[in-house]
Amino acid sequence: MFISKLGIQNFRNFKNVSLNFQKGVNTIIGENGSGKTNILYALRLLIDENLPRNIRFYETDFNRSLKQWQGHWIIIQIEFSELDVSEEAQAIAMHKVGAMDEYDFTKGSYSLIFRPRENKRRELYECALRLGTKEDLNAILTSITLNDYELTYRGRGNTDLSLEENYLKYVGDFENIIFPNPDDELEDIFGVRLYGFSIPNELSCTFIKALRDVEADLRSYKDNPLLSLLRGKEKSIDVIQKDSIIKKVIDLNDEITKLDEIKDISNGISNSIKQTVGDTYAPNIEIKSEVPAEMERLLQSLKLWVGESDEPDHKGRVSELSLGGANLIYLSLKLLEYEKVKVLNKIANFLLIEEPEAHIHTHIQKTLFDKLHSHNTQVIISTHSTHISSVSKISSVNILSRSNNKALVFTPSNGLEHSQIVALERYLDAVRTNLLFAKGIILVEGDAEQILIPVLFKKVFGISLDEIGVSLINIGSTGFQNIASLFHDKRVRKNCAIITDLDTSILELPENPNDDNKEEENCRNSQISGLQRQKLLEEFCRGNNWVKTFYGNYTFEVEFVSAGNRYEVMKLVNDQYQREPDRDRIIELIENEAVSVYGKEVLRLANHFKKGWFALMLEEHIDHLTYIPLYILRAITFASPHINNQTLYNIARNRLERLKRKTIASDKNNYDIILHQFESFPSIKEAIDFYSTQLPNDQLSLFIKTLKL
């Protein structure tokens, strides 16, 4: 028995989402604030017996994207698969699966529903019956308070209520004022109420919270996993041994109490009080040792003493350990606590771990994840560690992403063939896994693009691709399609820009290929390959609005010069060539207007220094006056539709500040005046519009224009 699906409606930052889970280890990844903690809490509300069943919800627990929370329902629904024949499992089974009243006894559902009580639902239904107006509906909704809500737990429901169309049909359409009759129990839809039966009591669930202040938890009576492990152990201690220890503790307490030094302090306190208030009102004082004489309390007083692995002869308090060491101790104790609970013959075992990566270095993160694959246990881990996500199976990953008061959930393996999933899992190492966390993605296939595109963006706009949430990934020899297949309506709904070259010949080629010399033959073959690649990519992208390809006409190095960046290349030449005749010859070729001349020379330079190293040397000469090739600028804008006006405003102001300090000689703009006017606008949008109008050919203006297309 395992959780195969979690559906959530209107709970915290989740408007309506569903997550799919597999047997074994599952990973929930996402940026900060995307709702990873809320997902685990939603699961715990249904399966963790350590949480009280009389959960109290507040207005803030309703999703903020709702125009008005009153009247809406919070629904958290779990689907179980592979139920066994036990009575406990079958209490949530009998899941209707078709039009012929067929039932699948291996599946079941268990739901938490927080909804208005019957009288308020009836008011909404009657409002719909009499074709009430929006004002009538609003009058009912504003009268609803949390006291008008009820919380129920239900099993055997057969409808996914996280789907918006089901919510509108069975809960209510607030926009069109359509509400169902509350007399219709709809038990096949919502499930039957579970009276006198608690599913969490039949499950084994251990929750390991995010490791933020482990030392405090290890000191706490409530949260210390060591104390949890020790509870009940006193019952298994031999009676004679137990009596012997208790007698020794009693004798020890007596011996400490009778020490002359203790008696002196006790008498001193007593005399001081009597002198202050007199004998009549003075209490009797005595200092007594209270080392606990009960076996249970003695065990609970035990403390961990630990040492680092490279200091076997030293042990001290947990506080002496590194944060990573303390976290490892805590994790180990919680896992041991889980093993203790697991043996209690429950119908299913669940282990929920929240962000285990804190203060733990890469190798331990990966090893920990590897060791969690446990028989007969479903493990669900939330993380924003690329190291943990890199060893996660794509088929067992759910991705969370933030979006305007609600979170989105993506299932990256949905609809992919097994061979595609295997290829992706092999490819996604710790470096490339960050594309799963990004808001937008750019795929390139060369070292030069990987090195220079982030530098170009940072130097020109004063902000990094990381700051706008865009990941640039060098796919190397892996085909674009293998990785870009992740981005699709069915999978990860984020924009993915592919940057590649058409490799158009920089030489004018003879009409007849048989007339080609060796150099022309190489150019022709590259051009043919480029056109074939374009055809394949256009076919791949057709019908998928999440992926788009952007082409450089020639190669990246040639496009860089063609964009207007001869100056940067000539600076590199001056740095790298000592002999003046060599410098003059190369610069003359670079300054030539014919692509067959300057293109050939820049490619020779790139191949001479090796393309990656050439890009690194070129990086030193790039600044805010460098031009980003237009196809690259368009690719970046496609990958970053989420950029807001505040970010554009900050870029514009930063760029004006730098243009004020340094610009090209032919630029006659007075950037002092433009900056002053820019900052004087009352709204950010007006300032951005002014920038674009005042500097229509500036790179930021082109960027903004492309964003709006």
Percent of the chain with pLDDT over 70: 81
pLDDT in tens, 199-252: 888 888 888 777 655 555 655 555 566 556 656 665 666 667 777 877 787 887
Contacts of 56 (CB under 8 A, 6+ apart): none
Q: What is the pLDDT of residue 699?
A: 95
Residue range 171-176: average pLDDT?
A: 95
Contacts of 684 (CB under 8 A, 6+ apart): 645, 646, 649
Q: What is the pLDDT of residue 6?
A: 96
Assigned domain for 359 exists: no
**CA 305 to CA 226: how far, in whole Å?**
12
Is the pLDDT at 647 greater than 70? The verdict is yes
Q: Which of 249, 269, 303 is the last residue of a domain?
A: 303
Secondary structure (H, E, C), 372-421:
CCCCCCEEEEEECCHHHHHCCCHHHEEEEEEECCEEEEECCCCCCCHHHH
Asked if residue 684 and residue 571 are part of one domain, the reply reads: no
Assigned domain for 38 exists: no
Q: What is the pLDDT of residue 328?
A: 61
Percent of the chain with pLDDT over 90: 55
Residue range 32-48: average pLDDT?
A: 92
Alpha carbon dihedral 272, 274, 276, 280, in 10-degree steps, equals 170
Asked if residue 444 and residue 573 are part of one domain, the reply reads: yes
Q: What is the pLDDT of residue 332?
A: 63
Q: What is the pLDDT of residue 434?
A: 79
pLDDT in tens, 550-578: 999 999 999 999 999 999 999 999 999 99
Of 245-249, 371-375, 397-401, 545-549, give the lowest mean pLDDT range.
371-375
Residue range 596-601: average pLDDT?
A: 96
Is the pLDDT at 141 greater than 90? The verdict is yes
Assigned domain for 639 exists: no
**Which one is predicted more confidently, 279 or 13?**
13
Under the banding of pLDDT at 50, 70 and 90, the label for residue 618 is very high
Count of structural domains within the chain: 4
Asked if residue 530 and residue 662 are part of one domain, the reply reads: no
Asked if residue 561 and residue 447 are part of one domain, the reply reads: yes
Q: What is the pLDDT of residue 45?
A: 95
Partnered with residue 9 across adjacent β-strands are: 16, 75
Q: What is the pLDDT of residue 389?
A: 66
Contact between 471 and 435 (Cβ < 8 Å): yes
**CA 359 to CA 13: how far, in whole Å?**
27
Q: What is the pLDDT of residue 400?
A: 92
**CA 444 to CA 473: how far, in whole Å?**
6
Q: What is the pLDDT of residue 245?
A: 76
Q: What is the pLDDT of residue 546?
A: 97
Partnered with residue 116 across adjacent β-strands are: 149
User: CA of 392: how far to CAs of 5, 25, 440, in Å?
Assistant: 18, 8, 21
pLDDT in tens, 308-354: 555 556 555 545 445 555 566 666 666 666 666 665 677 888 888 88
Name, of 67-71, 187-191, 302-306, 321-325, the range with top average pLDDT.
67-71
Asked if residue 648 and residue 624 are part of one domain, the reply reads: no
Assigned domain for 40 exists: no
User: CA of 478: how far to CAs of 4, 38, 239, 443, in Å?
Assistant: 32, 36, 68, 11
Of 20-29, 283-292, 336-345, 626-635, give the lowest mean pLDDT range.
336-345
Asked if residue 655 and residue 622 are part of one domain, the reply reads: no
Q: Coil, strand or helix: which one is 15?
A: strand
Under the banding of pLDDT at 50, 70 and 90, the label for residue 419 is confident
Asked if residue 510 and residue 453 are part of one domain, the reply reads: yes
Q: What is the pLDDT of residue 117?
A: 96
Asked if residue 185 and residue 228 are part of one domain, the reply reads: no
pTM score, whole prediction: 0.80
| 426 phi-psi bin (left φ>0, alpha ψ -120 to 50, beta other) | alpha
Asked if residue 86 and residue 62 are part of one domain, the reply reads: yes
92: Cα within 13 Å, side-chain hemisphere? 31
Partnered with residue 487 across adjacent β-strands are: 492
Of 109-118, 330-339, 462-471, 654-663, give the lowest mean pLDDT range.
330-339
Of 105-109, 286-290, 538-542, give the lowest mean pLDDT range.
286-290
Assigned domain for 343 exists: no
Is the pLDDT at 11 greater than 70? The verdict is yes
Which strands sit side by side in the sheet containing 203-208, from one edge to the other? 203-208, 348-354, 378-383, 25-30, 397-403, 406-410
Q: What is the pLDDT of residue 93?
A: 73
Residue whose pair of structure tokens reads 């009499």 in the numeric block: 130
Residue range 396-414: average pLDDT?
A: 87
Assigned domain for 577 exists: yes
Q: Which of 181, 197, 213 is the last residue of a domain?
A: 197
Contact between 109 and 157 (Cβ < 8 Å): yes
Asked if residue 578 and residue 458 are part of one domain, the reply reads: yes
Q: Which of 251, 277, 303 is the last residue of a domain?
A: 303
The rounded mean pLDDT for the chain is 85
Q: What is the pLDDT of residue 296?
A: 67
Q: What is the pLDDT of residue 460?
A: 97
**Which one is predicted more confidently, 344 or 423?**
423
pLDDT in tens, 685-699: 999 999 999 999 999
Asked if residue 165 and residue 260 are part of one domain, the reply reads: no
**Which one is predicted more confidently, 389 or 615?**
615
**Which one is predicted more confidently, 336 or 105?**
105
Contact between 411 and 398 (Cβ < 8 Å): yes
pLDDT in tens, 527-551: 999 999 999 999 999 999 999 999 9
Q: What is the residue range of 547's domain?
A: 438-628
Assigned domain for 336 exists: no
Assigned domain for 353 exists: no
Asked if residue 701 and residue 566 are part of one domain, the reply reads: no
Residue whose pair of structure tokens reads 């002359």 in the numeric block: 260
